[in-house]
Amino acid sequence: MRKLIASTCTYCSQAKGKRACPALGALICPRCCGEHRLVRIECPTDCKYLTTNESYQRERSAQAFVMERAKALQAYKDSKAVMAVVGLEMTVYKHLTKHPQTREWEIIAGMEEIRKRLSPLAFPDSERSTHGESLWTDFEPFLKEIDRSEAADIIGAYISFAKSFSGDELGSRQFQRGLLGFLQQYQSDILEKMPQQENQSRIITA
């Protein structure tokens, strides 16, 4: 019996466990590792399977993300409100760095809360989530030189893009992977400035 437990996937109890899962403290099969990482399994950020696979998935998603993002924001390319999107993406990046287990729907819901706060019809006592509060705290400084109604408009367009890119699959991480890959491949200069500019009102882009 001990031999069976030691060699069988601790998650599905069917396939052979080939990977040592630090989160579960036991062997797991590659399929369960791929399907459930960061969705049903709280993987530590230093897990070698997580870092290797996520890097690969981000690279794949980044190119599609760039093209779809450009289409979604085409109408706003000459608007100063584009800085609101830059701020939002930096805010989400910072949040995911601190909380890598955050689910995709929680991020999108948090962005929705930001959009609602920017609306002139926003109700100050409306229900707010922990993720939404965290995102708003880091995002608000970006609004100092941006018209809030314009920011709400462009963020609404960005949220529609995020939902479309995420897709309908339960537990999807497509948007997160695309965003992280996009920032790491195409906006690395901005990410490098983040620690020095964490307390400043905005991040200067090239």
Spatial distance between the Cα atoms of 39 and 94, rounded to a whole number of angstroms: 19
**Which residues is 8 bridged to in the sheet?**
16
Give the CA dihedral 98, 102, 106, 110, nearest 10 degrees.
Answer: 10
Q: What is the pTM of this model?
A: 0.72
Q: pLDDT in tens for each of the 206 residues of the chain? A: 334 455 899 999 999 999 999 999 999 999 999 888 877 888 887 888 887 777 777 888 899 999 999 999 999 987 788 899 999 999 999 999 888 888 899 999 999 999 999 987 766 656 778 889 999 999 999 998 899 999 999 999 999 999 999 998 877 889 999 999 999 888 887 777 765 444 333 332 22
